[in-house]
């Protein structure tokens, strides 16, 4: 969720990038559709080449991934499994975009410098 507004077609593999682009377009085209936020691998993660069969990220310590997920869920005021429209989630994200929470969730991300240069869409 946190990455979607700044996604520009870069990714870990062509399959991951195509999947992320498809999800971003679907949400952009139909912002009233519901999204279920989870605290683990989701539809975006499913084609990441770093997602292991155990559901863990091969790039990062799983503790860090869980911490980031928790920060984003807290930032958006939702619980794992809760469903809201993408429109509502995007509005909540925009409302906190200038706070310290997004930066805290992104600490250590390999895309952080790139994303810091881009405005939210």
Taking 3-state DSSP, the helix, strand and coil percentages for the chain, each rounded to the nearest 5, stand at 50, 5, 45
**pLDDT given for residue 106 in this prediction:** 80
What percent of the chain has a predicted confidence (pLDDT) above 90? 36
**pLDDT given for residue 64 in this prediction:** 79
Q: Please report which helix (H) or strand (E) contains residue 34, including its range.
A: strand 34-36
Alpha-carbon torsion angle 9, 110, 26, 92, nearest 10: -130
Question: 65-109, pLDDT tens digit by residue?
Answer: 788 888 888 888 999 999 999 999 999 988 887 777 677 788 777
Q: CA angle 63-92-39, nearest 5°?
A: 25
Q: Residues, the chain, total?
A: 121
**pLDDT given for residue 120 in this prediction:** 54
Instruction: Single out the residue of 76, 65, 56 nearest to residue 106, CA to CA.
Output: 65
Please determine, for residue 19, whether its predicted confidence score (pLDDT) is greater than 90: yes
Q: Which residues contact 57 (CB under 8 A, 6 or more apart)?
A: 48, 50, 51, 65
Confidence of residue 8 (pLDDT cuts 50, 70, 90): confident
Backbone angles phi, psi at 108, to 5 degrees: 90, -5
**pLDDT given for residue 81 in this prediction:** 92
What percent of the chain has a predicted confidence (pLDDT) above 70? 93
Residue 23: burial class (beta carbons within 10 Å; 0-12, 13-18, 19+): middle
Alpha-carbon torsion angle 12, 69, 121, 11, nearest 10: 0
User: Of 41 and 5, which is predicted with more confidence?
Assistant: 41
Per-residue pLDDT, averaged over 35-61, amounts to 87
Q: What is the pTM of this model?
A: 0.83
């Amino acid at each position: 969720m946190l990455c979607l507004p700044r996604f520009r077609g870069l990714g870990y593999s062509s399959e991951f990038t195509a999947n992320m682009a498809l999800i971003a377009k679907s949400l952009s085209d139909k912002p009233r559709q519901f999204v279920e936020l989870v605290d683990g691998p989701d539809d975006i993660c499913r084609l990441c080449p770093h997602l292991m069969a155990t559901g863990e990220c091969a790039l990062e310590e799983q503790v860090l991934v869980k911490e980031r997920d928790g920060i984003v869920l807290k930032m958006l005021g939702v619980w794992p499994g809760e469903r809201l429209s993408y429109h509502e989630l995007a509005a909540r994200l925009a409302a906190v975009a200038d706070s310290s929470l997004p930066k805290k969730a992104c600490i250590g991300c390999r895309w952080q410098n790139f994303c810091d240069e881009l405005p939210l869409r």
